[in-house]
Amino acid sequence: MKKDLVSIADLAPEQLTELLDLAIELKTKLKQGRTEPLLEGKTLAMIFEKPSLRTRVTFDVGMFQLGGQAVYLGPNDIQLGKRESVADVARNLGCWVDGVMARTFSHQTIVELARNADIPVINGLSDLEHPCQVLAAALSLREKRDSLAGLKVVFVGDGNNVANSLMLLCPRLNMDFVIACPEGYEPNRELTEQARAFAQRQGTTVQILPDPYQAVKGADLIYTDVWASMGQEAEVEERRKVFSPYQVNKRLLGSAKPGCLVTHCLPAHRGEEITDEVLDGPNCIALDEAENRLHIQKAILFTLMK
């Protein structure tokens, strides 16, 4: 059966653990100078509707380190749904390459690619989810804390694609999840219900709170992201006013558990959602997370394309 990574919900807890274990193994081997051509002769098509630094470089380098190659397809190369239907693009790519990674505006584009391609499809980012990003965060947190079970993760800011994926991920790894956000900026309602149902089965919790200082009490990790994502440029000024009380700064960090870690998926708007003092501080693992995009994505690529 074909395997895809469209949503974090596609992965069972044991599959998540296996991915994290494999990523650690691949990272360790790379640090020791040992690489294996696990995907020799394989090709990944990378579809980008949005600009990218981390996603493009880490998938491209990841395929190279695994012995395969990546083909970059930019916004003007395909024009998904305009020059050619998503279904036709998916079917054509299935004739030539061994996998597809897509970074799109609409989540439905990822869904349609996966539905029509007979090769694995990986969600590199959509307006609904960012699964690879939160898996890199989980890997970074596990490296710092060894065990994830029982930890409390707090997302501070907009209920965006990263928040949605993190909310789905935490209960699957036996972590409690809280998001602190203003009214009207909550995570996707359907995904919230899914996450809460899963959390109930796992004995963990998923909460939405308006007060960031209350939310971060007892937190092991505080996660934040930009207040206006790509495609929301017209809302920048309004969002800046609404989210100003949700800045991750030294005062907010002081309300969390001693030694609480902080991360950001990057790029960051310094001085807005997070201060320089925190982003460049000793508790921040944002750069670790950026590095771990490479390793967790290599684990995903091998698992889906081997």
Residue-level pLDDT, tens digit, the chain, 306 residues: 579 999 999 999 999 999 999 999 999 999 999 989 999 999 999 999 999 999 999 999 999 999 999 999 998 898 887 889 999 999 999 999 999 999 999 999 999 999 999 999 999 999 999 999 999 999 999 999 989 999 999 999 999 999 999 999 999 999 999 999 999 999 999 999 999 999 999 999 999 999 999 999 999 999 999 999 877 878 899 999 999 999 999 999 999 999 999 999 999 999 999 999 999 999 999 999 999 999 999 999 999 999
> So what's the pLDDT on residue 145?
95
> So what's the pLDDT on residue 79?
82
CA-closest candidate to residue 54, choices 291, 298, 295, 302: 291
Q: Record the pTM.
A: 0.97
Q: Is 217 left (phi over 0), alpha (psi -120 to 50) or beta?
A: beta
CA-closest candidate to residue 270, choices 248, 299, 245, 292: 248
Q: 172, 264, 293, 295: which is the annotated catalytic residue?
A: 293
The answer to whether residues 26 and 295 touch, using CB atoms and an 8 Å cutoff, is yes
Q: 239, 265, 295, 297: which is the annotated catalytic residue?
A: 265
Class of domain 133-289 (CATH, top level):
alpha beta
**Cα–Cα distance measured from residue 56 to residue 150, given in angstroms and rounded to the nearest whole number:** 33
**Cα–Cα distance measured from residue 24 to residue 104, given in angstroms and rounded to the nearest whole number:** 28
Q: List, by residue range, all CATH 3.40.50.1370 domains of the chain.
A: 8-130+293-305, 133-289
Q: 225, 239, 295, 297: which is the annotated catalytic residue?
A: 225
For the sheet with 152-156, list strands across it.
206-209, 176-180, 152-156, 221-224, 261-264
**Cα–Cα distance measured from residue 119 to residue 11, given in angstroms and rounded to the nearest whole number:** 18
* 133 labelled catalytic: yes
Q: Is 157 left (phi over 0), alpha (psi -120 to 50) or beta?
A: left
**Cα–Cα distance measured from residue 117 to residue 143, given in angstroms and rounded to the nearest whole number:** 35
Element (H, E) at 274: none
* 91 labelled catalytic: no
Q: 107, 130, 172, 264: which is the annotated catalytic residue?
A: 130
The Cα angle at residue 102 between residues 99 and 106, in degrees rounded to 5? 140
Q: Which CATH architecture has domain 8-130+293-305?
A: 3-Layer(aba) Sandwich (3.40)
Q: 103, 107, 172, 295: which is the annotated catalytic residue?
A: 103
Neighbours of 183 (CB within 10 A): 8
